[in-house]
């Protein structure tokens, strides 16, 4: 289904997802000041709350300005509209009068895409399965979970292949949450590989007493938002994500940030990996590396090349699991994963 928002006509939906999209558009166009949004549950219990439409317009226009999107440009929707990510794609298309291509969300959402589009948002898992097609997307933002080092490398390789390179591609990793109405910061992955997220205009960042990020963006949310994300702030506009404070593993008195170790491992292996801490009488928590996939001699050889900060950061146990549990946005469900291996 394609929707041209430069006109007032809506096409007739033929699938359940298309009906959800049309339903949200009608809700957006009614007289109510707010819409209901469901959180993904990646940082806590899923909940539903109401957001003012005007705040969503602020967020949409901010993103469109950054990416240079204008009336008549094309966008592709392949994220669930239950969550803020999918809803904001529709709002951006409405605000800038874009031509919206609607694809039912799946792990391979653009498998049959044949034409170039100016803008799309995807999860890392969707990008992983779409590398042979992402050259068709001029501006791609990736959110919902961190983009691994191995995926960044794959993106670069796929876009520097002379046979596929047809557009001036720009790929970004996003930082945000439901309460900030999608992302409040972008970090370019391609063509420039940036180390720090750059906040969008109208957003102020600071650290709390735990060294966790605080966000003040009054046109998106009137409250000062306290996160559980440990960050390093370099200036008023840039920060580096280090990991979540509630994921820290305390092993023999050493506080280990699993996300940092996972990035090291993902530089060597393409599998999804996660470090978790299992209760241990001697260590307090025993450091365990969990790998999605089947054990093999080739994979074990690659794991042996990982350079850990110290010997105390080496996993005490390595466990292989066929498939990681995930929440709807594709992010690994760490709590459920820990329950499985325990």
From residue 25, alpha-carbon distances to 16, 33, 123, 317 in Å are 14, 14, 23, 50
The CATH architecture of the domain made up of 2-244 is 3-Layer(aba) Sandwich (3.40)
Does domain 248-341 fall into CATH 3.90.1300.10? Answer: no
From residue 52, alpha-carbon distances to 55, 58, 224, 269 in Å are 6, 10, 17, 43
- pLDDT at residue 296, rounded to an integer: 93
CA distance 289 to 305: 15
Q: What is the pTM of this model?
A: 0.83
Mean pLDDT, residues 182-207 taken together: 94
pLDDT in tens, 121-147: 999 889 999 999 999 999 999 998 888
- pLDDT at residue 42, rounded to an integer: 55
Share of the chain above pLDDT 90, in %: 69
- pLDDT at residue 44, rounded to an integer: 55
CA distance 326 to 342: 17
Which is nearest to 198 in space by CA: 170, 225, 168, 173? Answer: 173
pLDDT at residue 162 above 70?
A: no
- pLDDT at residue 329, rounded to an integer: 64
pLDDT in tens, 224-260: 999 999 999 998 899 999 989 988 999 888 989 999 9
pLDDT in tens, 258-304: 999 998 998 888 888 999 999 888 889 999 999 999 999 999 999 99
CA distance 265 to 261: 6
Q: Tell me, yes or no, if the two domains 2-244 and 248-341 fold the same way.
A: no
Mean pLDDT, residues 182-209 taken together: 94
Query: Which residues lie closer than 8 Å to 101 by C-beta, 6 or more apart?
Result: 1, 2, 74, 75, 76, 77, 117
pLDDT at residue 165 above 60?
A: no
pLDDT at residue 63 above 70?
A: yes
* Cis-peptide, bond into residue 191, ω within 30° of zero: yes
Q: Where are the domains of the chain?
A: 2-244, 248-341
CA distance 286 to 317: 8
């Amino acid at each position: 289904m394609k929707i041209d928002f430069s006109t007032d006509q809506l096409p007739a939906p033929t699938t359940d997802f298309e009906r959800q999209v049309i339903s949200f558009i009608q809700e957006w166009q009614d007289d109510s000041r707010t819409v209901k949004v469901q959180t993904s549950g990646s940082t806590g219990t899923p909940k539903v709350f109401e957001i003012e439409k005007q705040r969503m317009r602020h967020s949409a226009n901010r993103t469109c300005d950054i990416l240079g999107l204008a009336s008549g440009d094309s966008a592709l929707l392949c994220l669930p509209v239950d969550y803020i990510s999918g809803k904001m794609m529709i709002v951006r298309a409405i605000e800038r009068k874009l031509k919206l291509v609607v694809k039912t969300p799946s792990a391979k959402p653009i498998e049959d895409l044949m034409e170039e589009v100016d803008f799309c948002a995807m999860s890392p898992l969707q990008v992983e399965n779409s590398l042979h097609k992402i050259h068709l997307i001029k501006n791609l933002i990736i959110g919902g979970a961190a983009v691994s080092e191995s995926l960044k490398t794959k993106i670069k390789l796929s876009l520097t292949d002379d046979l596929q390179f047809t557009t001036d591609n720009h790929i970004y990793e996003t930082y945000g949450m439901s309460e900030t109405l999608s992302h409040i910061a972008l970090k370019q992955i391609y063509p420039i590989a940036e180390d720090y997220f750059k906040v969008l205009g109208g957003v102020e960042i600071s650290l709390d007493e735990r060294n966790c990020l605080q966000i003040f963006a009054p046109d998106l949310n009137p409250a000062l938002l306290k996160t559980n994300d440990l960050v390093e702030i370099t200036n008023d506009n840039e920060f580096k994500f280090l990991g979540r404070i509630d994921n820290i593993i305390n092993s023999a008195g050493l506080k280990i940030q699993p996300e940092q170790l996972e990035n090291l491992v993902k530089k060597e292996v393409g599998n999804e990996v996660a470090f978790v801490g299992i209760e241990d009488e001697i260590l307090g928590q025993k450091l365990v590396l969990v790998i999605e996939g089947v054990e093999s001699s080739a994979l074990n050889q690659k794991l042996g090349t990982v350079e850990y900060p110290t010997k105390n950061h080496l996993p005490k146990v390595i466990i292989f699991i066929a498939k990681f549990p995930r929440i709807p946005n594709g992010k690994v469900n760490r709590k459920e994963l820990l329950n499985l291996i325990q």
